[in-house]
């Protein structure tokens, strides 16, 4: 992409309404635009980040055996009356009437709709297990939308729903998502810790929130320090190996980690002092086993091996891609701007032409631009007339992992400068060595 032809509306001033750094940086870096309280347009740079996040989420959901579909944002109130949640959900639900006076709503989540789809087609235990997911906008009329994308009213969610014949099967489905989440967050470049979360009236211990530690997090969390350095399960993990998967989950749940609601002070205090981490956290994912909570009232039943009708055991598994984008910035930035983890950076390389119009510099930039493109490396070429200081500041602000700086002086010696955004390290290299380093 050439910056001269791109749409990157950088703000010079720090927006006053933004309380936390990720919100400020997203606005300044031209990633998002607020259209109403808690409702944002994703501008081109923001969309690139969210698309990269979605791709990683998809790959790991698919690897774990979940199947993608796409449900609508608008739902019928009648479905929610069947589960009993239409009245319970309260003011967070945006309720709408169509021209025929039919009651509709903008979905805050999709348990009812997926259960309706399931019961329409699935009849036999032989069709289980099944896990269906989508990545779709949700609307929750949050009392206090704030922090930009992190607590929006309209936001993206990946929500998966598993269906099993019994609790043992549901446990395996839960473990698949647990492991998929460990891999997903690690690939996103984030350290997300699975913490025991409240299961509400259903009980049991099958609910975990995946939490990123950050001082601006909205919840208070407590965990064992070793979680900060545990290696995620490998890409070769066999999701059909029940015992193997259970062993991974056991390993990741054996140490202390809990949100405020489930905090056990005595157990936490018993940890060695240097292993106690008490911090603020951002909930980026949440997985949940809820048994027959929806299948019983909504009659989602299958014929078991003996022909009897059995309500299926369900679980739901959410990740907020738009919140993840904000949380990634909270976890990784400096005074100058964002420092993207490579996997979700909007471009991998920022190529800075220090003197557009200089034929040698233009040619070197053009050449690097083409070669990076040919190698499949996303590159943003700053070919604008802005002064060098402004270009440097902009590249630091948008936080691309690598900068290649091409100017007449170093080019006369056959060199370009390569800067690593995270470490700040700079090297003078030949263009071909620079190419190798950044790709």
Which residues form the interface with ligand ATP (CB under 6 A)? Answer: 140, 142, 151-152, 155, 157, 283-286, 318-320, 322-323
Spatial separation of the C-alpha atoms in residues 311 and 83, rounded to whole Å: 14
Out of Mg ion, ligand ATP, none, what residue 171 binds, judged by CB under 5 to 8 A for its kind, is none
Spatial separation of the C-alpha atoms in residues 327 and 283, rounded to whole Å: 9
Q: Nearest CA to 402 among 377, 385, 373?
A: 377
Closest separation between CB of residue 157 and Mg ion, Å?
A: 10
Closest separation between CB of residue 57 and ligand ATP, Å?
A: 11
Question: Can you tell me which residue has the tokens 């922090």?
Answer: 147
Spatial separation of the C-alpha atoms in residues 290 and 199, rounded to whole Å: 8
Closest separation between CB of residue 209 and Mg ion, Å?
A: 6
Residue in the shown chain whose Cβ atom is closest to ligand ATP: 320
User: Would you say 187 or 421 has its CB closer to ligand ATP?
Assistant: 187
User: Would you say 128 or 212 has its CB closer to ligand ATP?
Assistant: 212
Tell me the number of residues near Mg ion by CB under 5 A. 2
Q: Nearest CA to 173 among 317, 321, 319?
A: 317
Closest separation between CB of residue 151 and ligand ATP, Å?
A: 5
Q: H or E segment at 136?
A: strand 130-139
Cβ atoms < 10 Å from Cβ of 65: 16
Residue in the shown chain whose Cβ atom is closest to Mg ion: 286
Q: 105 with 74: CB under 8 angstroms?
A: yes
Closest separation between CB of residue 296 and ligand ATP, Å?
A: 21
Q: H or E segment at 233?
A: none
User: Would you say 155 or 340 has its CB closer to ligand ATP?
Assistant: 155
User: Would you say 92 or 269 has its CB closer to ligand ATP?
Assistant: 92
Spatial separation of the C-alpha atoms in residues 342 and 15, rounded to whole Å: 27
Out of Mg ion, ligand ATP, none, what residue 157 binds, judged by CB under 5 to 8 A for its kind, is ligand ATP
Distance of CA 130 to the CA centre of its chain: 23
- 84: buried, middle or exposed (CB in 10 Å: 19+, 13-18, 0-12)? middle
User: Would you say 210 or 347 has its CB closer to ligand ATP?
Assistant: 210
Spatial separation of the C-alpha atoms in residues 252 and 256, rounded to whole Å: 10
419 binds Mg ion (CB under 5 A): no
Closest separation between CB of residue 152 and ligand ATP, Å?
A: 4
Q: 221 with 211: CB under 8 angstroms?
A: yes
User: Would you say 61 or 353 has its CB closer to ligand ATP?
Assistant: 61
Closest separation between CB of residue 32 and Mg ion, Å?
A: 20
Spatial separation of the C-alpha atoms in residues 289 and 74, rounded to whole Å: 25
Closest separation between CB of residue 38 and ligand ATP, Å?
A: 7
Spatial separation of the C-alpha atoms in residues 95 and 104, rounded to whole Å: 6
Closest separation between CB of residue 140 and ligand ATP, Å?
A: 5
Out of ligand ATP, Mg ion, none, what residue 415 binds, judged by CB under 5 to 8 A for its kind, is none
286 binds Mg ion (CB under 5 A): yes
User: Would you say 155 or 239 has its CB closer to ligand ATP?
Assistant: 155
Stretch that binds Mg ion, among 247-255, 285-293, 341-349, 379-387 (CB under 5 A): 285-293
User: Would you say 145 or 399 has its CB closer to ligand ATP?
Assistant: 145
Q: 406 with 364: CB under 8 angstroms?
A: yes
Spatial separation of the C-alpha atoms in residues 344 and 396, rounded to whole Å: 16
CB burial string 136-163: b at 16+ within 10 A, e below: bebbbbeeebbbbbbbbbbbbbbbbbbb
244-283: contacts with Mg ion (CB under 5 A): 283
Spatial separation of the C-alpha atoms in residues 283 and 152, rounded to whole Å: 14
User: Would you say 114 or 282 has its CB closer to Mg ion?
Assistant: 282
28 binds Mg ion (CB under 5 A): no
Closest separation between CB of residue 32 and ligand ATP, Å?
A: 12
Out of Mg ion, ligand ATP, none, what residue 284 binds, judged by CB under 5 to 8 A for its kind, is ligand ATP
Q: Which residues bind Mg ion (CB under 5 A)?
A: 283, 286
């Amino acid at each position: 992409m050439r910056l001269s032809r791109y749409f990157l509306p950088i703000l010079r001033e720090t927006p006053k309404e933004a309380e936390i750094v990720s919100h400020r940086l997203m606005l300044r870096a031209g990633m998002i635009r607020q259209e109403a309280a808690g409702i944002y347009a994703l501008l081109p740079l923001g969309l690139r980040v969210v698309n990269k996040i979605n791709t990683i989420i998809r790959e790991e959901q698919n690897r774990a055996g979940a199947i993608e579909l796409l449900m609508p944002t608008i739902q019928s109130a009648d479905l929610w009356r069947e589960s009993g949640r239409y009245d319970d959900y309260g003011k967070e639900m945006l309720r709408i009437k169509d021209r025929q006076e039919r009651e509709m709503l903008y979905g805050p989540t999709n348990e009812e709709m997926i259960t309706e789809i399931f019961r329409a087609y699935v009849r036999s235990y032989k069709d289980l297990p099944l896990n269906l997911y989508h990545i779709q906008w949700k609307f929750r009329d949050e009392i206090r939308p704030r922090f930009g994308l992190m607590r929006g009213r309209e936001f993206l969610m990946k929500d998966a729903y598993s269906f099993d014949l019994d609790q043992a099967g549901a446990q395996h489905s839960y473990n698949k998502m647990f492991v998929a989440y460990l891999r997903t967050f690690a690939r996103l470049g984030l350290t997300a810790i699975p913490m025991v979360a409240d299961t509400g009236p259903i009980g049991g211990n099958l609910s975990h929130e995946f939490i990123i530690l950050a001082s601006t997090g909205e919840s208070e969390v407590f965990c064992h320090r070793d979680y900060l350095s545990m290696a995620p399960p490998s890409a070769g993990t066999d999701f059909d190996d029940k015992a193997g998967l259970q062993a991974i989950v056991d390993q990741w749940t054996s140490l202390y980690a809990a949100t405020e609601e489930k905090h056990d002070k005595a157990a936490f205090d018993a940890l060695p002092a240097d292993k106690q981490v008490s911090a603020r956290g951002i909930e980026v994912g949440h997985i949940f086993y809820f048994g027959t909570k929806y299948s019983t009232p909504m009659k989602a039943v299958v014929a078991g091996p003996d022909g009897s009708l059995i309500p299926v055991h369900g679980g739901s598994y959410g990740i907020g891609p738009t919140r993840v984008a904000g949380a990634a910035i909270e976890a990784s930035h400096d005074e100058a701007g964002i420092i993207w983890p490579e996997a979700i950076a909007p471009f991998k390389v920022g190529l800075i032409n220090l003197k557009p119009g200089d034929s040698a510099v233009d040619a070197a930039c053009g050449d690097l631009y083409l070669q990076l493109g040919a190698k499949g490396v996303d590159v943003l070429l700053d070919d604008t007339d802005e002064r060098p200081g402004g270009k440097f500041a902009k590249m630091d602000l948008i936080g691309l992992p690598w900068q290649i700086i091409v100017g007449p002086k170093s080019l006369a010696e056959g060199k370009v400068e390569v800067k690593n955004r995270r470490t700040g390290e700079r090297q003078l290299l030949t263009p071909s060595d620079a190419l190798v380093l950044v790709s």
